[in-house]
Structure 1
Amino acid sequence: MKKIVSFFGEPSPVFDELNRRAESYAAEKGFAYRWVPQKPFDQAQVIQCLQESDMGLIDVEPYGEEIFRAIDGKCPLLVRFGVGYDKVDLAAATRHGIAVARTTGANASGVAEMALTLILACRRELRPNRFRCIETGRWDKYIASETVGGTVGILGFGAIGRLLAKLLLGLGCTVIAYDPFPNQALAQEMGVRLVDLDELFTTSDAISVHVPYNPDTHHMVNAARLAQMKPTAVIVNTARGNIIDEDALYDALKARQIRGAGLDVYAVEPLPAESKLLELDNLILSPHFSSQTVESLWNTYKMAIDITVDFYAGNPSPHILNPEYKTRRV
């Protein structure tokens, strides 16, 4: 029986139950499943476990040449628990004939719901009003704005962006989107208008970031882009921290250049205690947990196992990031 080892999650009642479900589901598919939590990450233990397994379910830690060299010829498949893979050296994996996949879309509902939550909270100025009223005891009448009926711009129209669009359309919003690889037919079918970056930033009442992080999207949201936004607009990020220039965002929020922002991701995680972002009363912060719902987590475990089943059945998979792994070796 082929073996799956999972490094994702930490011991808790929720993860204990999720991994019991994963073990049972894997067994139904003919695979043995083992959970080896990595808190903190132990590279030597990870290598040893992968050398004894046929698939590794990995988290956000770096996977590079040293790991891939050690498991060459032993574990031919790693599946990233989630979407981002910026810490995985795909070139090194390919050199050693190791396929790397990701569970695209499995956590889309959780992330989209969190993005909507942040948009609503920022538009209604929940954090500023806590400081203005609750903590001072002065319950003055502060006027905020509704999201219903407004224009929301989605930066990145992939699985999460599309699901967020459906939620927003249900609220009667006008939804516009930018994507570097636009699917015009799909957008039109959904009732979403694809626009360029200038229009997205100048016309949106709220912007939600959903592009992947790579060299092209590093600080994609910079001072110039923030300066294009309406003074009543808000921006939220549930993708990757370095897509937004945090210094530029701090300056824009400090100067009240825009109404507010919501961040679930940061350039450095955990967010340092000395971060100047903590000074701001018009910024909502959450600890990179937008995908941490029972439903999204289970969808991700299930998809990872399904990817493994397809891999060993020889079925083509759109989830593999480096299909050239089959032909390029050291």
Structure 2
Amino acid sequence: MSNKVLVTPDMFHPDAVTLLKESGFEVVFTKPTRQVTEDEVRQNIMDAVAYVVGSNPLTATTISEGKGLKLIARFGVGYDAIDWRYAMQNGITVTVTAGANEQSVADMALALMLSISRQIPYFDRSIRDGQWTPQIMTHEMWSKTVGIMGTGRIGKAVAKRVAGFDATILAYDAYPDYSWAERANVTYVSKEQLLAESDYISLHLPLNKETDRIVDASFLEQMKPTAFLINTARGQLVDESALYEALARKSIGGAGLDVYNKEPLSKDSPLYLLDNCVLTHHVSSHTKEAMRRMSLQCAEEIIRMGKGEPPQHSIPEKL
């Protein structure tokens, strides 16, 4: 069996590289995720036994070049960009770093809530431009209603944080966890009730055919005119044109976005023109702590594979 591990994420931690090398693996890096081409991956995957993949697409054509490939370790939790069906049909395990970045993403969701409701980016730009605008009024987050759409690990971590703001917490999920909700003082409600009552709506849903563009014009029309939308999950959950119209008309209070339909966000996106929209660079999980945890989880999955042991966090889909 080959001992080559191909790695694309440039944030793959040195501790994980050391762990793999000590276990007898050769670690080879491609160009960073946002620069790597599919051709480069194909050329390097040919003799690899495992591939640590970032957010770059991984097609069946590319996977097929890995004749000795046994494991695709996703550096993250979303795997919609991977042709996982082809991989599984060909005996290739696909794993994710479940639980490694939940605290970092939950932190970012809370940061975006505070940033947009208190207009922190606006005030930062204003004072740097020599303006003094203390007359601008913002909103408290204290004792508001927070709606969490999707109560997996990250959604639950967000709920724990907003509880400290004395928030009323509503939740919507296709598969409710009522036992957790009772312990966490969270109330599961219909999507319609969550939209109508929430002052903040934080998206933590997976991307699938049911959730693709779930935030459309109808969704936004049901939100309170003072409510804020937060998305740290998947850009494709949101119809960006509909969101722009709602923000431009001020039919909702604002939005905090870390993810977009296409990334990087196009330079001509009208979202840049809005003061009631905070934009970040798909960096919710980009903390030193999360990157190390994710790297080590990928390395540990590869080492288990090398020993013939089952993975700890393979994807849940079945063929």
Asked whether the two chains share a fold, i.e. TM above 0.5, the reply is yes
Are 1:62 and 2:88 matched, yes or no?
A: no
What SS does structure 1 have at the residue aligned with 2:221?
helix
Are residues 48 and 175 of structure 1, via their aligned partners in 2, closer, same or farther at CA, if it must alter by over 3 Å?
same
Task: State the 1:88 CA deviation.
Answer: 1.0
Alignment of 1:193-272 (within 5 A): 193-272=187-266
Show the counterpart of 1:185: 179
Which structure 2 segments of 5+ residues have no match?
A: none
What SS does structure 1 have at the residue aligned with 2:17?
helix
What SS does structure 2 have at the residue aligned with 1:177?
strand
- What letter matches 1:183 in structure 2? D
Q: 2: CA distance between counterparts of 1:125 and 1:166?
A: 23
Are residues 192 and 63 of structure 1, via their aligned partners in 2, closer, same or farther at CA, if it must alter by over 3 Å?
same
What SS does structure 1 have at the residue aligned with 2:267?
coil
Task: State the 1:155 CA deviation.
Answer: 1.0
Does the 8 Å CA contact 1:100/1:322 hold for their aligned counterparts?
no
Are 1:160 and 2:154 matched, yes or no?
A: yes
Show the counterpart of 1:47: 42
The alignment covers a number of residue pairs equal to 317
Task: State the 1:293 CA deviation.
Answer: 1.0
- What letter matches 1:8 in structure 2? P
Task: State the 1:2 CA deviation.
Answer: 3.5
Q: 2: CA distance between counterparts of 1:229 and 1:134?
A: 33
Are 1:88 and 2:74 matched, yes or no?
A: no
Once the two structures are superposed, residues 61-116 of structure 1 have per-residue CA deviations (whole angstroms, 9 ceiling, x without a partner) of: 221121122214x0111011111111111222123221111112211111111110
Show the counterpart of 1:301: 295
Show the counterpart of 1:169: 163
Relative to structure 2, which stretch is displaced further, 179-188 or 131-140? Answer: 131-140
Alignment of 1:15-164 (within 5 A): 15=11, 19-29=13-23, 31-38=25-32, 40-72=35-67, 74-129=68-123, 135=129, 137=131, 139-164=133-158
Task: State the 1:133 CA deviation.
Answer: 7.6
Once the two structures are superposed, residues 188-240 of structure 1 have per-residue CA deviations (whole angstroms, 9 ceiling, x without a partner) of: 22222222111111111101111111221111111111111111110111111
Relative to structure 2, which stretch is displaced further, 170-179 or 269-278? Answer: 170-179
Does the 8 Å CA contact 1:127/1:282 hold for their aligned counterparts?
no
Relative to structure 2, which stretch is displaced further, 276-285 or 124-133? Answer: 124-133
What SS does structure 1 have at the residue aligned with 2:44?
helix
What SS does structure 2 have at the residue aligned with 1:23?
helix
Q: 1: CA distance between counterparts of 2:312 and 2:251?
A: 42
Once the two structures are superposed, residues 101-138 of structure 1 have per-residue CA deviations (whole angstroms, 9 ceiling, x without a partner) of: 11122111111111100001111133455677875835
Q: 2: CA distance between counterparts of 1:322 and 1:231?
A: 38
Task: State the 1:28 CA deviation.
Answer: 4.7
Q: 1: CA distance between counterparts of 2:125 and 2:30?
A: 43
Q: 1: CA distance between counterparts of 2:123 and 2:211?
A: 33
What SS does structure 2 have at the residue aligned with 1:161?
helix
Task: State the 1:323 CA deviation.
Answer: 6.6
Q: 2: CA distance between counterparts of 1:69 and 1:139?
A: 58
Q: What is the TM-score normalised by the length of structure 2?
A: 0.91
Are residues 225 and 322 of structure 1, via their aligned partners in 2, closer, same or farther at CA, if it must alter by over 3 Å?
closer
Show the counterpart of 1:277: 271
Does the 8 Å CA contact 2:30/2:40 hold for their aligned counterparts?
no
Q: What is the TM-score normalised by the length of structure 1?
A: 0.88
Are residues 324 and 193 of structure 1, via their aligned partners in 2, closer, same or farther at CA, if it must alter by over 3 Å?
closer
Task: State the 1:264 CA deviation.
Answer: 0.7
Task: State the 1:47 CA deviation.
Answer: 2.6
Once the two structures are superposed, residues 7-57 of structure 1 have per-residue CA deviations (whole angstroms, 9 ceiling, x without a partner) of: 111xxxxx4xx5421122224555443333345223333233323222110
Relative to structure 2, which stretch is displaced further, 208-217 or 129-138? Answer: 129-138
Which structure 1 segments of 5+ residues have no match?
A: 10-14, 326-330
Q: 1: CA distance between counterparts of 2:49 and 2:210?
A: 34
Are residues 124 and 218 of structure 1, via their aligned partners in 2, closer, same or farther at CA, if it must alter by over 3 Å?
same
